[in-house]
Copies of this chain bind each other. A is one copy, B any other.
C-alpha cells in the first residue's frame, strides 16, 4: 500500500492511540507522578518496538528515565537522531480547563489535553510516521536513532549527562526535533534560527534593614527608586539597549533574508491582537518581526521589593530585586554580553547602595545553514504533506538543546514544528490542531522516505 494511503487508512487508530498517550499524567515536576512518568516511558518504548525498532532501552537516570531506540538497518543511508520529550507541565490552574487536562477531548478540529502540543502530540507524529514507513514498506528507509526524555520541563539535566557520556551511541548526520510552532495556520514551517538567552538576577541593597518611611524617609537611599533609575537607563529613547558594546558583534540579516521575512504570511495586526496592549514599541528601524527574530533585546522579567501586600505599609526596604534577560543573536557572545551588562548596570548605580549581580544562565543564538539539501528535502516533504507551501522562519525564543547538540555533534538540526503560537503550551486548554497532527504524520513520513535519496 502507498505510504500516504496507509497513513490515511489509520487516522482513527492514530488519534485514539494519541489519546491513550495523553491520558498518562506524566508531570515531571511532581514527585507523586513518578509512576506515571515510568508508565509514559514504557508506553513510548512499546510504540517504538511496534514501529520496528529492535533495540529499545529505557535508561534510568537520577530523576526520570530516557527512552533510547536504534534502527540501523539501512547501510549507506543517512542516520538521523530524533529528539522529543514525554513529560508535561503541571495542569494547574485546573478550573481554567474547559475539559479535564488528562481527558483528551476533540472540539472544533482541535485535540485538547495537557501535552497535546508540548510535546507528546509532536512525539507521536514521529512514532506514527515511523510505524507507517515500517508497515507500508517493510523496513525503515534510513537509519534512525530516537531519544525521548522525561525531564524537558525540569531542565534536562540528566539528558545532558547522558548525551555527553554517550556521544558515539547518539552520533547521526542530522538532528530532527518537533517541539516548535508553525508561523500560522496553514503555513507549514521550518525554524532555522533561535535567539540565545542570558538571564540575570540583580539585588540592590540600601539600608541594612527595612526602615520606617516616616522616621527615615527623605534622608536614606531607597533601593527601589535607585534600581528603577538604573533600569530606566538601560534603553534609550529609540528602544536601543544602552549597554556599551552590546550591538558590536550583531549580524544584521542580509537584504535578501529581511525581504524574505517581510514577505512571510505573518500579520502585524494579528500580533497586535495577541499582545492586547494599547500600543506596540521596539527598536527603531526594524519591523516587529525583525525585532523578535533578528534583534537582541534586554527585557525585565521580574521586579520586587518592599511591601507588596494589600493596603499600605510605610516601609523603605533594605533591598530591591530584578530579573533581567537578554535575547541574543549571531554573533553575540553570551559570556561577553553578561560581563558588559553587569559592568553597565553597576555604572548606573550610585555609591549609596550595594549591588549583587548573578548570571543565572547564558545561551548562544543559533542559525541553521538552511540552504543545506536536508532543509530543502524537509521543506518539500512539508509541502507534500500539507499541500501548502512551506516557509523558513526564525523564533524569538531559545531551545538550549538545539545549541548544545550543535556544539557537540556539529550536525544540521531540522526543527519541523507542528504547533501553533496560540495553542496554550504550558497554559490551561492546551491543544493541537488535528489538521496539523495528520499533516505532520504525512510530512514526517515523506521526509524520512525522501531522506533515503540524499
Chain A residues within 8 Å of B, Cβ to Cβ: 195, 197, 199, 205-209, 211-222, 224-225, 227-229, 231-235, 271, 275-283, 288, 291-292, 295-297, 299-308, 311-317, 320-323, 325, 327, 350-354, 360-361, 395-398, 421
Q: Quick check: B320 and A216 within 8 Å, CB to CB?
A: no
- Tell me whether A281 and B327 are in contact (CB under 8 A): no
**Interface pair B327/A217, CB less than 8 Å apart:** yes
Q: Could you list some 28 contacts between A and B, CB below 8 A?
A: A207-B276, A213-B301, A213-B325, A214-B396, A215-B395, A216-B292, A216-B396, A217-B327, A219-B271, A219-B282, A219-B291, A220-B277, A220-B280, A222-B299, A224-B303, A225-B232, A228-B231, A278-B352, A279-B352, A281-B352, A299-B316, A300-B306, A301-B306, A302-B307, A304-B304, A308-B321, A311-B360, A314-B325
Q: How far is the CB of A187 from chain B (nearest CB, A)?
A: 16
Q: A221-B279, A225-B231, A278-B354 are in contact. List 10 more A-B contacts (CB 8 A).
A: A195-B214, A197-B314, A207-B277, A213-B299, A213-B327, A222-B299, A224-B231, A300-B305, A301-B314, A302-B306
Question: In this complex, what residue of B is CB-closest to A194?
Answer: B214
Given known contacts A276-B209, A297-B218, is B306 in contact with A305 (CB within 8 Å)?
Answer: no
Are B323 and A306 in contact (CB-based, < 8 A)? yes
* Cβ-defined contact, A299 with B225, below 8 A: yes
Q: Which residues from chain B contact A311 at a C-beta distance below 8 Å? A: 360
Determine the distance from Cα of A207 to Cα of B342 in the docked complex, in whole angstroms. 28
Taking a contact as CB atoms under 8 Å apart, the answer to whether A301 and B283 are in contact is: no
A306, B305: Cα distance in complex, Å:
12
Could you say which residues of chain B place their CB within 8 Å of the CB of A276?
207-209
Contacts of A300 on B, CB cut-off 8 Å? Answer: 222, 224-225, 228, 305-306
CA distance A283 to B65 in the complex (A): 61
Point out which of A218, A221, A277 has the most chain B C-beta atoms below 10 A from its C-beta: A218
Chain B positions within 8 Å of A220 at CB level: 275, 277, 280-282
Closest to A316 in B: B299
Closest to A195 in B: B214
Complexed CA–CA distance, A233 and B209 (Å): 26
Closest Cβ–Cβ distance, residue A69 to chain B (whole Å): 30
Q: Which residues of B contact A321 (CB under 8 A)?
A: 308
